[in-house]
């Protein structure tokens, strides 16, 4: 690790303050040019500790950067992950309070509801399917507490900034019809994502590492060295298979998963 414990704690406090004040911070990768991915996850963990100390509860995990295109764009070879907390969940068809966030975007994906403890190393797609109770359509609400483009240098946000920023996660909406994981080929589940009735994006779940359960297996293996596992009842967002849709106050977002139902929210 390139950052000291004091650096990590200070960065986590800055992110927490940015979320509370709705004022984005300068990219951590500019303030700490030697930052590593290990440092970034340490900052994320320190920020989550601040939230847990304030009364939040862990409800699950999110996986991001699961497409080859996004990984190539950022110069990495694997996804990233963040933590889902209890105050991030919004009702299907409900109101998302826009003033709680800074700059929201939204993605369509599948969420895995874990039934049996899922631990690495050597976790496989088959282990994931056997350990999953249901798969459900979901929307992920993204936000960024870190500036996407630095106003002075014009530098764009790096993978370290995104990981430290809890992988840009801000909210989740579950909806549609719960699916038993072996009842269909999850790769072929698709979504039509609309904003205010206009079609914005489409995609297939195969866009997530060829099979969304592969992403869940990656996560179980990734967190295993820390002695962690995916626990029963946890929700795991497997990763988006559409490009993120920019949203503002007054927007209605709906993802139509065909025979698996719809999931929607309104930014009020």
Furthest CA-CA distance within the chain: 52
Q: What pLDDT, on a 0 to 100 scale, did the predictor assign at position 23?
A: 97
Span 91-113, pLDDT tens digits? 999 999 999 999 999 999 999 99
Q: What is the mean pLDDT of residues 74-83?
A: 86
CB-CB contact of 113 with 135 (8 Å): yes
User: pTM for the whole thing?
Assistant: 0.96
Q: What pLDDT, on a 0 to 100 scale, did the predictor assign at position 69?
A: 63
Quickly count: other Cβ atoms within 10 Å of residue 68's Cβ.
12
Q: Looking at per-residue confidence, does 68 or 31 come out higher?
A: 31
Please name the residue that has the structure tokens 């004040």: 21
Q: What pLDDT, on a 0 to 100 scale, did the predictor assign at position 158?
A: 93
pLDDT score of 74 more than 90: no
The C-alpha atoms of residue 262 and residue 53 are separated, in whole angstroms, by 35
Q: Looking at per-residue confidence, does 73 or 155 come out higher?
A: 155
Please name the residue that has the structure tokens 């060829």: 210
Q: What pLDDT, on a 0 to 100 scale, did the predictor assign at position 78?
A: 85
Q: What pLDDT, on a 0 to 100 scale, did the predictor assign at position 110?
A: 98
The C-alpha atoms of residue 227 and residue 119 are separated, in whole angstroms, by 9
Q: Distance from CA of residue 110 to its chain's centroid?
A: 11
CB-CB contact of 247 with 253 (8 Å): yes
Mean pLDDT computed over every residue of the chain: 96
Q: What pLDDT, on a 0 to 100 scale, did the predictor assign at position 77?
A: 79
Query: In the beta sheet, which residues pair with residue 265?
Result: 253
How buried is 13 (Cβ within 10 angstroms: 0-12 exposed, 13-18 middle, 19+ buried)? middle
Distance from first CA to last CA of the chain, Å, rounded?
A: 42
Percent of the chain with pLDDT over 70: 98
pLDDT score of 161 more than 70: yes
| Residue 200, phi-psi category: left (phi > 0), alpha (psi -120 to 50), beta (remainder) | alpha
Please name the residue that has the structure tokens 């609309």: 194
Q: What pLDDT, on a 0 to 100 scale, did the predictor assign at position 187?
A: 98
Q: What pLDDT, on a 0 to 100 scale, did the predictor assign at position 66?
A: 87
Q: What pLDDT, on a 0 to 100 scale, did the predictor assign at position 153?
A: 94
Span 195-233, pLDDT tens digits? 999 999 999 999 999 999 999 999 999 999 999 999 999
Q: What pLDDT, on a 0 to 100 scale, did the predictor assign at position 73?
A: 65
Joined tokens for residue 160: 């370290």
Query: In the beta sheet, which residues pair with residue 198?
Result: 195
pLDDT score of 245 more than 90: yes
User: 47 in helix, strand or coil?
Assistant: helix
Q: What pLDDT, on a 0 to 100 scale, did the predictor assign at position 148?
A: 93
């Amino acid at each position: 690790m390139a950052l000291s414990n004091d650096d990590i704690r200070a960065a986590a406090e800055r992110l927490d303050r940015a979320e509370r004040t709705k004022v984005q911070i300068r990219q951590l990768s500019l303030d700490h040019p030697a930052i590593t991915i290990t440092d970034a996850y340490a900052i994320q963990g320190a920020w989550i500790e601040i939230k847990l100390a304030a009364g939040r509860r862990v409800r699950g995990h999110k996986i991001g950067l699961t497409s080859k295109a996004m990984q190539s764009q950022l110069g990495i070879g694997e996804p990233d992950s963040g933590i889902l907390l209890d105050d991030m969940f919004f009702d299907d068809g409900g109101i998302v309070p826009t003033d709680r966030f800074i700059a929201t975007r939204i993605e369509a994906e599948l969420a895995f509801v874990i039934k049996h403890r899922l631990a690495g190393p050597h976790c496989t797609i088959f282990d994931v399917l056997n350990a999953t109770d249901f798969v459900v359509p979901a929307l992920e609400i993204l936000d960024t507490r870190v500036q996407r483009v630095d106003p002075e240098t014009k530098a764009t946000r790096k993978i370290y900034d995104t990981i430290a920023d809890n992988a840009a996660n801000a909210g989740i909406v579950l909806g549609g019809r719960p699916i038993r994981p072996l009842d269909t080929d999850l790769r072929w589940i698709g979504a039509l994502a609309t904003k205010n009735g206009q079609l914005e994006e489409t995609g297939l779940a195969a866009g997530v590492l060829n099979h969304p359960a592969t992403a869940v297996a990656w996560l179980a293996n990734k967190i295993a060295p820390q002695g962690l596992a995916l626990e029963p009842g946890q929700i795991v967002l497997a990763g988006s298979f559409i490009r993120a849709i920019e949203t503002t106050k007054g927007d209605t977002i709906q993802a139509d998963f065909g025979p698996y139902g719809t999931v929607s929210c309104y930014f009020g």
